[in-house]
Amino acid sequence: MFIVMAASASEAEVNAVKAAILAEGLQPHDNRGAERVVIALVGEVGARRQTLMSRLSGLPGVESVTPISRPFKLTSREFQAEDTVIRVGGAVIGDGSLTVMAGPCSIESRAQLDEVADAVTACGATILRGGAFKPRTSPYSFQGLGVEGLRYLADAGRRTGLPVITEVMEPAQVDVVNRYADILQIGTRNMQNFSLLQAVGRIDRPVMLKRGYGATVEEWLMAAEYIVSSGNPNVILCERGIRTFETYTRNTLDISAVPLLHHLTHLPVIVDPSHATGKRWLVKPMALAGVAAGADGIMVEVHPRPEEALSDGEQSITLDSFRDLMSSLRAVHADVADLHRDPVLSTAALGVGGKH
Ligand code: PEP
Ligand code: MN
């Protein structure tokens, strides 16, 4: 449930509500809006719901107490109506601007990364990506350069001025990845690695949580809830395709997840057309579709010579294709910007609601 404090409520009244929640063995999380404080109460409430609601309603400074109907609480639009906007370095994610995360699947050498970094920066990418710890289906495939790759990535970020994002695969890696990266990425295979979610929930850098390839939207939001409830509110969701019966594409891009997520959650949404399709020539149309559907941006794999890539060459686009993609993306983004200005109001106006 969440407790809306009156605009005139004092700090002492807010603290008294939080103390009452803690005394029940539950967790208070406050959201300080421009006008008032809203406190979410999370934890197993069970049979206490009614008595607790009426007791909290009676405390000084409390305006209203409302149950949150969704299983995800802190990530829900019910708790926070305004979009979460994430600022990292010079990049802003979720404010209506177009975020473009671009770079190689794997960091293969300093020269390879620098070549891509310079090219994507010149084209207007806002965040540099590159994998150093690679989750590969086969143990015989290239596993990434590890910490050496992280160094190249951090250096390229400093040189180009772009914030950098890279994957962290296990809790024991969080410290070292946190030292080099500006945004930590949780890959599809780890979406429900709960100890990893809690570990990245304890750091103060943004986390991009990719959708598990077999996960429902609700399971995905519950995974995001692990990170936020552990103390880190800066979570970005990335739709990267799910596994279906279709075999022509590597995965099936769930474009409907984009407006659905904007309806259900205040967190920013990124579309990854590279892993979603597995095919270079499908990357552009799917990237454009993602932005047209209202995504806050895209993540795309770029390689100077995709045929020589040590991972995901088939879905990596060339530097020239990236330049072309950027200009088309800007055009689509400019066209749809107004349509997506207020997802809460627009989905309400369309009568979207019901169970989901
Ligand atoms: C990646 O971004 O390189 C990656 C491994 O993605 P995913 O976890 O979506 O497969
Ligand atoms: Mn990849």
Q: What is the pLDDT of residue 342?
A: 62
Q: Computed from CA positions of residues 161, 163, 167, 173, in that sequence, does the dihedral angle turn out positive or negative?
A: positive
pLDDT single digits (tens) 157-188: 999 999 999 999 999 999 999 999 999 999 99
Q: What is the pLDDT of residue 339?
A: 85
Q: What is the pLDDT of residue 69?
A: 85
Which residue in 300, 230, 311 sits closest to 271, CA to CA?
300
- Write down the pTM of the prediction: 0.94
Give me the chain's average pLDDT, please: 94
Å from CA of 306 to ligand 2 middle: 12
- Strands 86-88 and 91-93 come out as antiparallel
Nearest CA, atom 3, ligand 1? 105
Q: How many CA atoms lie within 13 A of 133 on its CB side?
A: 20
Q: What is the pLDDT of residue 352?
A: 40
Q: Tell whether the model's pLDDT for residue 346 goes beyond 70.
A: no
Residue type, 179: R
Å from CA of 272 to ligand 1 middle: 9
Question: Which residue ranges have their beta carbon within 6 Å of ligand 1?
Answer: 105, 131, 135, 187-188, 210, 240, 275
Whole-angstrom Cα distance, residue 148 to residue 277? 29
Q: Return the axis-axis angle of helices 147-160 and 110-123, rounded to nearest 10°.
A: 30
Average pLDDT over residues 71-90: 95
Q: Give counts: helices (H), strands (E), the chain.
A: 12, 14
Q: Tell whether the model's pLDDT for residue 340 goes beyond 90.
A: no
Residue with tokens 């802003």: 92
